[in-house]
Structures are given as structure tokens and as C-alpha cells.
Chains A and B, each alone.
Chain A
Amino acid sequence: MNTHLLLQLVVNGLIVGALYGVVAMSFVLIYKASQVVNFAQGEFLLIGAWVCWWLLTTYQLPFLVGMLVTFAFMLVFGIALQIVVLRPLIGEPIISVIMVTIGLSIFFQALCKWLFGVFAQPFPPIFATQQVSFLGLEIQTVYLMSLGISVAMMAAFGWFFRYSKHGLAMRATAFNQQVAQSLGISVRNVFALAWAISAVVSSVAGIVVGIVNGVSSALSLYGIKVFPAVILGGLDSVVGAVIGGLVIGLLENLAQYVDGQYLHWGNLYEIVPFYVLVVILMIKPYGLFGTRDIERV
């Protein structure tokens, strides 16, 4: 038993898991508000990362400014997307809307390649120290930044949904659209808000991954990668999404540990989360934190 390696992998799992959690959170936001599974979530990451990269390299903006401008752009982008594409589809079968997001993902994938090229591009160096040492593990500074931002965001969301007017409106809409509408909540605005926030949150993850790995179109695969995290936590629970992300991150790393140390079967880190997912779902069919549908006839 190599406890040192195990410890390092656990720390790494939590750090990467937090990132999955952020993407999962942005996924859940849209689902909760509008019941739409957004297959274009990965492209949100991609767009956020490219825009930030473009601002930083072309206009030489300082990182913080660049990131804030990116957030503003994503906010507008999310709202615009909702108004132009998704608003006309309100009331149509959900499955068609899901297919529309698949179409959007094809569209934006190609658009990004057209605008920004097909080569992976590095971010300019952002932190003076690239990595810090923690429990014997060298951790990239940007992961710490992402950890900080995600924790701050989660706290903000906690407050937002519990106390703010818009947050309450969103929860009401998620609970029952008709009732919410009859209470004077503009469901359309709530949807737009959900897409906007989701786009912004995704862009954080996109930028972080971009700084770590360079920006390339393959970054959008994160969108599909977080599905298990979303489901594990429960589709409609923001907290669940974060915990689901952490669990998946941990599972990946632990699987790699068992594989690398004992089994040598290869590829366990990619597959084990799925096995565990199925087992958990068999025990808890609505995920760890999802609301159980109570059906009355």
C-alpha cells in the first residue's frame, strides 16, 4: 500500500472533481429551469475559453479584466441564445429541444474552428508561480484558482436560490411552471437567466481547462464527461452536482490507483465511474440528492 501516492491521488481527485462539479452545476441549472438536457454545454466551455484567450492574446488585456469581459460576453451570449433559438421552442416536445442543442453543438464546434483555427493554443502565462506544493503533490495554481472560484460560486448560488427574488423565481419555475406563471413570474425571463448563468459558469471551467491544457476544440468533450457527475448527484440538485463531480473525480483517481498498483487492466479510470454509477443508481434511482418523483393517480 503506497499511502503517499494514494494521498496525492485523493487530493488530485478532489481538485479535478471540483472542476467537474462546476460544469455539472451549470448543466443542472439549465435542466432545473427548463427540463432541457443541454448537449451544447461543452461548447459553452469552448466558447468561453476561446473568447478569453482571444482577449488576452489579441488585446493583451490583464487576465482578470479579460475574464470579466468574457463573463459579460457569456451572459449576453446565453441570453441571446435563449431568445433566438430556445424561446420559440417553449412548449414543444422536450426531446426536440434536446436535439436542437445537439444541432447547436455541431454549429458552434465548427464556428469556433473557423474563427480560431484548428490548432491548440496556449494561454499566456498568468500566474507567477505555476504550481504550489500541497501534501507532497504539486498542484497547478490555476486549479487552486478554480477551486476558489467554484467555492465562491457555490456559496453565491446558495444565497441566490435561498434568498434572492430571481433565485426564488427560478426555484418556483422549476417546481411548477404553470403555478409560477400564475404567480406573476415571467417564465421566459427565468429561462433566459438560467441559460445566461449557465453559460457564465461554464466559461469559468472552460478558462481553467484552457489554461491547464491549452485551448482546442476537443475541450468541448468535458460536456459529455460530466454527465455521470450530474446524474450521480441527482439531476435537479445544484449541491448534488458539485458532490457528484467530486465523487467522480475521486473515483477516477482511485481507479487509476488500483489499476496502476495492483490490477494492471488498463483504462479503469475511464470505466469504473460508470460501473459505480450504475450500482448507485440501482440503489438510489434518483441519484444521491435528486428529488424523488411522487406519483399520484
Chain B
Amino acid sequence: MATQSLNPAGDFRTTYAADTTIFPTAGSRYAVLAGLAILCLAPLWLERYWLSLLIQIGYFGVAALGLNILVGFTGQISIGHAAFFGFGAFASAWLSNNLGLPVFFAVPLAGVVTTAVGLVFGLPAARLKGLYLAIATLAAQYILQDFFARANWFTGGVAGTAAEPFSILGFAFDTDQRYFYVVLAYVVATYVLATNLMRSRDGRALVAVRDHYLSAEMMGINLTRYRTLSFGLSAFFAGIGGALYAHYLQFVSVEGFGILLSIQFLGMIIIGGLGSIMGTLMGTAFMVLIPEAMGWLTDAVRGSGLDRALSLKDNLSFLREMAIGLVIVLFLMFEPDGLAHRWRQVKAYWKLYPFSH
């Protein structure tokens, strides 16, 4: 069936391939390609500040994608994601520093190593459910963090370790303008990978485990295998994200992979929309940009009449923090299903415009 330029008014899909296609219309395909093209040109006209924010969204987005596969698609809660993110960062630094591996290979390899760790910590998933499992992942968080501080040979101990800049054949991607392309390539690759994975047999098995695991089991899906697998997958993406983070900052320290980052990862996928691939990226962007946006807001208020009238001065920073919390609360009160859901509604509105409702 040829790709149409618009969605037809009814459901005319007659094959599974048509049903699971990534781009239902030609327009959506072009839109994505155009978006990518614009992003490819971004380093030419964007300031470093914006590039660094985009890079941040990129590496957090890759890691959050892993968490969404675990939480959104398989229905297991994890509050230890930051530890896997950190493990990937250390692993990649270690591989390139100690084994002399080019960073180009160290990054995906770090993903693989982290997968192995994820599988180990995913083992309790065979027996535990819901919040009990969540706390087992919390244990993973603390145990790995302790390991980071202890394992001098691997992480440089509490002093941390330096990471080489990313390079291909001697060409170093050590500026924001260059590193942006590395992150972009990984974001595209991982998101395409995840999208396709979810369309495969294994992906459907994960969703079945989430929706009704008893039925899934009866249909011959090996629960233990898929639950553990989803932990491995989530760790894989976390590891890649962490490795990208390490080679961006070129320094990895045990600080910064704490429980608070784990909670932030959860925030990204909940706000983005559980079980939505693109939502993950939107949620990540939301969580990264909110503090910045509130920063711009306080900058605008600083020194203005409002500031003087209320003599806010230094208290502005508290107001900014409060606003971050408040935005999260209000957002979820009005849109509990996340940005992906809102996005679909916006699309639906314009599809029918001006005749919606």
C-alpha cells in the first residue's frame, strides 16, 4: 500500500505491516526528516548554551528511553536508573583509558557491559512485583553507588576519573558544535532501535507482560525471561546515555549519580508519557528546560519593580525552585497522561479543524 499524504477517514489498513508502520503518512515522514535536517544545521546558528542544552536532552533522553522501556512498556518500576547511567559513564571511561579502546567503540561497548550489570540486578524481577521490585532497584542504586566509591581500579574511587573526548580517526569531537552530531546520531539510532524493537515479537511480549502477565504467561511468554530482559534493555540505553555524558564532560565522578537523578529520570518519562517513545524525548526536554525557563523568568523579574516591591532579591532562587515543583504538580493535575497524550490531542484538534466538536 502506497503511503498516503493524509490519514484516511476510516481504517483501511489490511496488513500488520501497515498497522505497525512508524510513519502513517508521507507528511509525518517528511516532518521528521525536515526536523532532523534542521537539527543537523543547528550547530551553525545556535549558541553554545542552546547546543549544550540540546546535548543534555540528548544523553538524558537516550537513558530515559531505557527507563521507559522498563516502566512504560514492561510495567516494572525502577528507582535506580541513575546508577546504571553512572555505570555506563565509568565503563566507557575505563574501557578507553585502560584498554586503550577508541572512544568510538567504547561507547557502545559500555552499553553492553551495563546491560550485563542490568541483567544481574534485574534478577529479583523474576520474583518481585510492583513497589517491592522498585525497592530492589533502590537497593541497586545504593549498592552501585557504593561500588563506584570503592572500586578504585574501575572508577578512580572517590576522586573520579577523566574520560577521553570522542574521536573518529583522529578527528576529535571535543567542542559542542561537533559533539552535538555524536549525540544526535546516537539519539536517532537508539530511538529508531527502540521503535523497531517495540514493533517486533519481543516488544509485543514486553507489552503483554505489562498489560496482563497471567495471560501473557498462558500464551507462552516466558515471564522471567522478558522481565529480566527488559532490565537488561533499560540498562543498555542507560549505559549508552551515561557514556555520552562521560565523553561530553570528559570527567566522571561518583557525585551526581544519586537517587535524585533517578527520581528525575522517572519524572522525565512520567511527564513525557509512559509507553511512548517520542514522549520520552519530550519529557526529557521538559525536565531539562524547566529549570532554565524558570531561570529566565527570575532573571526577568530580578531588578524589576516587582522585585523591589516585594524585596525578593536572593529569595528569587527559592521562588524558582518552588516554581519548578509547582509546574510539575500543575502539569500532572491537568495532564496526568503526559506530554505524548497532549500532543496527540493537539494533533487531533488540528486534524478536524475547524470542525472539532
Answer yes or no: A and B touching, Cβ < 8 Å: yes
Question: Which chain A residues lie closer than 8 Å to B146 at the CB level?
Answer: 267, 270-271
Q: How far is the CA of A28 from the CA of B71 in the complex (A)?
A: 23
User: Is B39's beta carbon under 8 Å from chain A?
Assistant: no
| Cβ B274 vs Cβ A99 within 8 A | no
Interface 1/0 per residue, B248-281 and A, CB below 8 Å: 0000000000010001001100110010000000
User: Is B143's beta carbon under 8 Å from chain A?
Assistant: yes
Interface 1/0 per residue, A224-242 and B, CB below 8 Å: 1001101100010000000
Q: In the complex, which of the residues B132, B266, B315 contacts A281, with contact meaning CB atoms closer than 8 Å?
A: B132
Nearest Cβ on chain A to B325's Cβ, whole angstroms = 3
User: Is B337's beta carbon under 8 Å from chain A?
Assistant: yes
User: Is A286's beta carbon under 8 Å from chain B?
Assistant: yes
User: Is A130's beta carbon under 8 Å from chain B?
Assistant: no
| Cβ A114 vs Cβ B322 within 8 A | yes
| Cβ A274 vs Cβ B143 within 8 A | yes
Count of A-B contacts judged by CB separation below 8 Å: 129
Interface 1/0 per residue, A81-123 and B, CB below 8 Å: 0000100110011011111101111111111011000000000
User: Is B301's beta carbon under 8 Å from chain A?
Assistant: no
Given that A99-B267, A271-B146 are contacting pairs, would A228 and B135 also be in contact in the complex, using a CB cutoff of 8 Å? yes
User: Which residue on chain B has the smallest CB distance to residue A295?
Assistant: B214
Q: In the complex, which of the residues B143, B271, B329, B336 contacts A93, with contact meaning CB atoms closer than 8 Å?
A: B336
Q: How far is the CA of A285 from the CA of B337 in the complex (A)?
A: 30
Q: How far is the CA of A39 from the CA of B333 in the complex (A)?
A: 16
Q: How far is the CA of A99 from the CA of B134 in the complex (A)?
A: 14
User: Is A262's beta carbon under 8 Å from chain B?
Assistant: no
Interface 1/0 per residue, B111-154 and A, CB below 8 Å: 00000000000001001110110111011001100100110000
Q: How far is the CA of A85 from the CA of B327 in the complex (A)?
A: 13
Q: How far is the CA of A110 from the CA of B267 in the complex (A)?
A: 18
| Cβ B333 vs Cβ A89 within 8 A | yes
| Cβ B328 vs Cβ A235 within 8 A | no
Query: Secondary structure of the A side of the interface?
Result: helix
Q: How far is the CA of A95 from the CA of B267 in the complex (A)?
A: 10
Q: How far is the CA of A210 from the CA of B134 in the complex (A)?
A: 29
Q: In the complex, which of the residues B71, B150, B266, B332 contacts A100, with contact meaning CB atoms closer than 8 Å?
A: B332
| Cβ B271 vs Cβ A278 within 8 A | no
| Cβ A89 vs Cβ B332 within 8 A | yes
| Cβ B124 vs Cβ A281 within 8 A | yes
Q: In the complex, which of the residues B267, B325, B333 contacts A107, with contact meaning CB atoms closer than 8 Å?
A: B325
| Cβ A281 vs Cβ B136 within 8 A | yes
User: Is A127's beta carbon under 8 Å from chain B?
Assistant: no
Give the size range of B's interface with the partner: 35 or more
Q: How far is the CA of A285 from the CA of B136 in the complex (A)?
A: 10
User: Which residue on chain B has the smallest CB distance to residue A115?
Assistant: B318
User: Is A277's beta carbon under 8 Å from chain B?
Assistant: yes
| Cβ B325 vs Cβ A104 within 8 A | yes
Question: Which chain B residues lie closer than 8 Å to A93 at the CB level?
Answer: 274, 336-337
Question: Which chain B residues lie closer than 8 Å to A271 at the CB level?
Answer: 142-143, 146
Q: In the complex, which of the residues B124, B131, B271 contacts A99, with contact meaning CB atoms closer than 8 Å?
A: B271
| Cβ A109 vs Cβ B131 within 8 A | no
User: Is A294's beta carbon under 8 Å from chain B?
Assistant: no
| Cβ B337 vs Cβ A96 within 8 A | yes
Q: How far is the CA of A174 from the CA of B195 in the complex (A)?
A: 38
Question: Which chain B residues lie closer than 8 Å to A277 at the CB level?
Answer: 135-136, 139
User: Which residue on chain B has the smallest CB distance to residue A277?
Assistant: B139
Question: Which chain B residues lie closer than 8 Å to A230 at the CB level?
Answer: 135
User: Is B319's beta carbon under 8 Å from chain A?
Assistant: yes
User: Is B184's beta carbon under 8 Å from chain A?
Assistant: no
| Cβ A274 vs Cβ B318 within 8 A | no
User: Is B324's beta carbon under 8 Å from chain A?
Assistant: yes
User: Is B33's beta carbon under 8 Å from chain A?
Assistant: no
User: Is A282's beta carbon under 8 Å from chain B?
Assistant: yes
User: Is B292's beta carbon under 8 Å from chain A?
Assistant: no
Given that A99-B267, A235-B132 are contacting pairs, would A88 and B318 also be in contact in the complex, using a CB cutoff of 8 Å? no
User: Is A37's beta carbon under 8 Å from chain B?
Assistant: yes
Question: Which chain B residues lie closer than 8 Å to A97 at the CB level?
Answer: 332, 336
Q: How far is the CA of A85 from the CA of B274 in the complex (A)?
A: 21
Question: Which chain A residues lie closer than 8 Å to B77 at the CB level?
Answer: 95
Nearest Cβ on chain B to A289's Cβ, whole angstroms = 13
Which has the most chain A C-beta neighbours within 10 Å: B131, B271, B338? B131
| Cβ B321 vs Cβ A106 within 8 A | yes
Question: Which chain B residues lie closer than 8 Å to A105 at the CB level?
Answer: 325
Q: List 25 A-B contacts (CB under 8 A).
A: A37-B134, A85-B329, A88-B333, A93-B337, A96-B337, A97-B332, A99-B267, A99-B270, A100-B328, A100-B329, A102-B263, A102-B266, A103-B325, A103-B328, A104-B325, A106-B321, A109-B321, A231-B131, A231-B132, A235-B131, A267-B146, A270-B146, A274-B138, A277-B135, A278-B124
- 13 further interface pairs, Cβ-Cβ under 8 Å (given A92-B336, A96-B270, A271-B146): A93-B337, A95-B71, A99-B266, A103-B329, A106-B322, A107-B321, A110-B324, A111-B322, A227-B135, A270-B142, A277-B135, A281-B128, A287-B132
Sorted nearest first, the 9 A-B pairs with minimum C-beta distance are A107-B325, A103-B328, A106-B325, A110-B321, A114-B318, A92-B336, A274-B139, A96-B336, A103-B329
